[in-house]
């Protein structure tokens, strides 16, 4: 499909996705659509945190979903529901599997597609969910270890895998995704939370987490904050490799977490 013709249906999808964004503080929803080489597309929405710097931008949310599902090397285009901001363009510009080029105010396209002026016709959304027919919690942790191998960690070489189990028992994968701009790195826990929001998948009831190189790993402070906001009633299962996993309630991870109630009262 010619480039200009294929952008419009992607723009329409991005606009439709804005209703899924979690934006209680800015009330400015944003959504992204990533087009894959086979026409499958990946949604991503803005997920705000009461701690503003921890807000998950739509384009990062969508891209990290592609990484966690093992499809990042197939991305051929990024579309936003509004024009790209400078920092968003810089994020895309420095991603692997490029180069990506700005082809419109709201679109970045992979170099090969940009050169021949064509994109695949968009088909159906990517299914991010893992096979739910796992037997027992040990199987879920074992699957989290497998997922961790999809992590993109050229700087730290510290792969982390997460599986968010939803109330309906669907399983959402997450991995840590590094970037040359370390401020744009996303952890596995927030990756899974962001994917669940993009797909309107519902509440998480358990989070299974593994650090392949560290049997004593725990969620970082940023992840604890977002978990406290987005999955406060969930239970964390932390892989301890040869020992039994640790189990804690998310609510105990960050006592006195910032909720931004005064900020919400302004709206």
For residue 155, give the CATH number of its domain: 3.40.140.10
99 and 204 inside one domain: no
Count of structural domains, the chain: 2
What pLDDT, on the 0 to 100 scale, is given for residue 96?
A: 95
Dihedral sign computed on CA atoms, order 55, 59, 64, 66 = positive
End-to-end CA distance of the chain: 44
pLDDT at position 62, please? Answer: 99
Residue with structure tokens 């994109």? 119
Boundary of a domain, candidates 116, 149, 168: 116
Strands (E), the chain: 31-36, 41-45, 75-80, 100-104, 107-110, 160-166, 171-175, 204-211, 235-240, 243-249
Q: Which long-range contacts (CB under 8 A, 24 or more apart) does 243-248 make?
A: 243/215, 245/137, 245/141
Output the pLDDT for position 245: 95
Same domain, 29 and 110: yes
Q: Is residue 150 part of a domain?
A: yes
CA distance 168 to 128: 15
Q: Which residue has the tokens 């640790």?
A: 246
Contact by Cβ (8 Å): 106, 12: no
Q: Is residue 127 part of a domain?
A: no
What local confidence, expressed as pLDDT, does residue 244 receive? Answer: 94
Residue 123 lies in a domain: no
Q: What is the extent of the structural domain holding 87?
A: 3-116
Are 73 and 174 in the same domain?
A: no
Q: Are residues 31 and 61 in the same domain?
A: yes
**Token digits of residue 73:** 């090397």
pLDDT at residue number 53: 96
Q: Closest by alpha carbon to 75, among 120, 110, 28, 118?
A: 110
Residues 94 and 142 in one domain: no
Per-residue pLDDT of the chain (267 residues; tens, 9 = 90+): 567 777 999 999 999 999 999 999 999 999 999 999 999 999 999 999 999 999 999 999 999 999 999 999 999 999 999 999 999 999 999 999 999 999 999 999 998 776 777 899 999 999 999 977 666 777 899 999 999 999 999 999 999 999 999 999 999 999 999 999 999 999 999 999 999 999 999 999 999 999 999 999 999 999 999 999 999 999 999 999 999 999 999 999 988 888 777 777 765
Query: Dihedrals φ, ψ of 144, to 5°?
Result: -60, -35
The answer to whether 63 and 34 are in contact (CB under 8 A) is yes
Q: Are residues 112 and 151 in the same domain?
A: no
**Same domain (yes/no): 182, 238:** yes
Residue 148 lies in a domain: yes
Decide if 166 is inside a domain.
yes
The answer as to whether 126 is a domain residue is no
DSSP lists the bridge partners of residue 44 as: 32
The answer as to whether 208 is a domain residue is: yes
pTM as predicted: 0.95
Between CA 243 and CA 143 the distance in angstroms is 17
* One domain, residues 183 and 216: yes
- 111 and 141 both lie in a single domain: no
| 145 lies in the same domain as 243 | yes
Cα 40 from Cα 125, distance rounded (Å): 6
Helix ranges (DSSP H) in the chain: 3-17, 58-68, 86-93, 111-116, 137-148, 188-198, 221-230, 261-264
For residue 131, tell me if it sits in a domain.
no
Residues 108 and 142 in one domain: no
Say yes or no: 99 and 197 in one domain.
no
In our burial notation (b when 16+ CB lie closer than 10 A, e otherwise), range 251-262 reads eebbeebeebee
What's the length of the chain? 267
C-alpha to C-alpha distance for 171 and 242, rounded to whole angstroms:
24
pLDDT at 2: 60
Q: Which residues pair with 175 in a beta bridge?
A: 161
Which pLDDT score, from 0 to 100, does residue 1 have?
A: 56
Give the pLDDT of residue 133.
65
């Amino acid at each position: 499909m010619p480039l200009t013709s294929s952008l419009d249906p992607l723009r329409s999808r991005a606009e439709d996705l804005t209703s899924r964004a979690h934006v209680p503080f800015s009330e400015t929803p944003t959504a992204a659509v990533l087009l894959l080489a086979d026409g499958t597309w990946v949604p991503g929405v803005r997920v705000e945190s009461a701690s503003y710097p921890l807000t998950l931008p739509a384009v990062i949310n969508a891209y990290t979903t592609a990484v966690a599902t093992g499809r990042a090397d197939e991305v051929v285009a990024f579309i936003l529901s509004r024009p790209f901001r400078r920092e968003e363009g810089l994020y895309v510009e420095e991603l692997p599997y490029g180069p990506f080029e700005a082809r419109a105010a709201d679109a970045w396209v992979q170099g090969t597609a940009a050169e021949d002026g064509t994109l695949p016709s968009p088909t159906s959304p990517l299914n991010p969910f893992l096979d739910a027919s796992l037997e027992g919690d040990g199987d879920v942790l074992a699957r989290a270890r497998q997922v961790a191998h999809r992590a993109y960690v050229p700087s730290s070489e510290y792969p982390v895998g997460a599986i968010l189990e939803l109330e309906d028992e669907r399983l959402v994968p997450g991995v840590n995704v590094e970037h040359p701009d370390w401020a744009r790195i996303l952890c596995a826990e927030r990756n899974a939370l962001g994917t669940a929001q993009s797909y309107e998948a519902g509440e998480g009831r358990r989070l299974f987490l593994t650090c392949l190189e560290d049997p004593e790993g725990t969620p970082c402070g940023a992840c604890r904050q977002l978990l406290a906001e987005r999955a406060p009633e969930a239970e964390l299962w932390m892989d301890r490799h040869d020992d039994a996993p640790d189990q804690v309630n998310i609510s105990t991870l960050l006592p006195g977490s910032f909720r931004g109630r005064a900020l919400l009262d302004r709206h």
